[in-house]
């Protein structure tokens, strides 16, 4: 089977890293199923990809904080005769308010969006990949998973789950031809900090810390094709991760409390 007959489901395809993934995969001949809430953006991207790369490109608008969304996406794919060979679990955001001051539905939505939905999408698609003997799954974790924890944010914990569960599933599935990679970017130019409300702080960080989405995607896609279960893209990010990981928990905690520019609480 070639890329031309394979389909990639990309969540969060309406902006940033997800859009870059859709473009990268379409350029390689993959058909696409694009998911996010903003249907207008998805439709514009789908039209661009069909025109530029002559690939099939379907759109399914869904809010992944809705527990019914993962089943609805996969049911839609089945009805349309689409077989998911590649899953890019990318949709995500970070909250920016203190834990005790954030209403539970907001926190539950973050967990549904970045923990439950990607896990359910893997569960609903990995069995078919395994039966067919080929599949690729990229889960967007973050350098945050290897960094000191940030006060009150669920984000570090959520992205740590993503990094670890990706490795566990990779161990289970790799013997069956299915590779799972946790892609762990550092600061990447996208709408992430606009959504988080931290654009002003983020803009003051040195340029050397930042990557473009297409660099992150290129390295992440090469990693999953090569069967690497964890990919930290960019030299600076690799240095940060390898410098922080060996530190004792107590010291990481102090660093997280003092150095994290987005800390609150």
CA distance 197 to 180: 31
CA distance 78 to 65: 22
If one asks whether residue 59 binds ligand NAP (CB under 6 A), the answer comes out as no
CA distance 85 to 126: 8
Degrees (nearest 5) of the Cα angle 208, 41, 114?
Answer: 65
User: Which of 31, 65, 147, 160 forms a contact with ligand NAP (CB under 6 A)?
Assistant: 65
If one asks whether residue 237 binds ligand NAP (CB under 6 A), the answer comes out as no
Q: Which is nearer to ligand NAP, 134 or 262 (CB)?
A: 262
If one asks whether residue 163 binds ligand NAP (CB under 6 A), the answer comes out as no
Encoded tokens for 154:
């669920």
- What is the smallest separation between the CB atom of 176 and ligand NAP, expressed in angstroms? 26
If one asks whether residue 18 binds ligand NAP (CB under 6 A), the answer comes out as yes
Name the pairing type of β-strands 57-61 and 84-89: unpaired
Any catalytic annotation for residue 155?
A: yes
If one asks whether residue 92 binds ligand NAP (CB under 6 A), the answer comes out as yes
Query: Residue-wise over 108-137: b if at least 16 C-beta within 10 A, else e?
Result: ebbebbbbbbbbbbbebbbeebbeeeebbb
Q: In this structure, are residues 109 and 58 in contact, taking their beta carbons and an 8 Å threshold?
A: no
Of the listed 30, 155, 161, 253, which one is catalytic?
155
Q: Which is nearer to ligand NAP, 92 or 149 (CB)?
A: 92
Q: What are phi and psi of 242, to 5 degrees?
A: -75, -25
If one asks whether residue 209 binds ligand NAP (CB under 6 A), the answer comes out as no
Q: Which is nearer to ligand NAP, 131 or 191 (CB)?
A: 191
Q: Which is nearer to ligand NAP, 18 or 135 (CB)?
A: 18
Q: Which residues are catalytic?
A: 155
Using CB under 6 A as the criterion, which residues of the chain lie in contact with ligand NAP when the complex forms?
A: 12-18, 36-38, 63-65, 90-93, 113, 140, 142, 185, 187-188, 190-192, 195
């Amino acid at each position: 089977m070639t890329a031309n007959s394979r389909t990639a489901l990309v969540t969060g395809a309406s902006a940033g890293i997800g859009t870059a993934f859709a473009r990268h995969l379409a350029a390689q001949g993959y058909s696409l199923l694009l998911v996010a809430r903003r249907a207008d953006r998805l439709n514009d991207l789908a039209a661009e990809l069909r025109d530029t790369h002559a690939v099939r490109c379907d759109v399914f608008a869904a809010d992944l904080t809705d527990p019914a969304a993962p089943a609805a996406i996969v049911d839609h794919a089945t009805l349309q005769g689409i077989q998911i060979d590649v899953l890019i679990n990318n949709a995500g955001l970070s909250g920016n308010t203190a834990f005790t001051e954030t209403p539970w539905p907001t926190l539950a939505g973050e967990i549904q969006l970045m923990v439950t939905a990607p896990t359910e999408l893997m569960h609903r698609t990995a069995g078919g990949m395994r039966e067919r003997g080929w599949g690729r799954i990229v889960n967007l974790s973050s350098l945050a998973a290897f960094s000191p924890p940030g006060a009150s944010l669920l984000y570090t914990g959520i992205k740590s789950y993503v990094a670890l569960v990706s490795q566990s599933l990779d161990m289970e599935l790799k013997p069956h031809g299915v590779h799972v990679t946790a892609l762990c970017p550092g600061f990447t130019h996208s709408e992430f900090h606009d959504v988080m409300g931290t654009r002003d702080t983020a803009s003051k960080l040195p340029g050397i810390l930042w990557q473009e989405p297409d660099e992150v995607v290129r390295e992440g896609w090469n990693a999953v094709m090569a069967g690497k279960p964890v990919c930290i893209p960019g030299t600076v990010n690799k240095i940060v991760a390898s410098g922080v990981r060996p530190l004792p928990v107590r010291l990481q905690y102090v660093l997280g409390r003092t150095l994290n520019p987005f800390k609150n609480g």
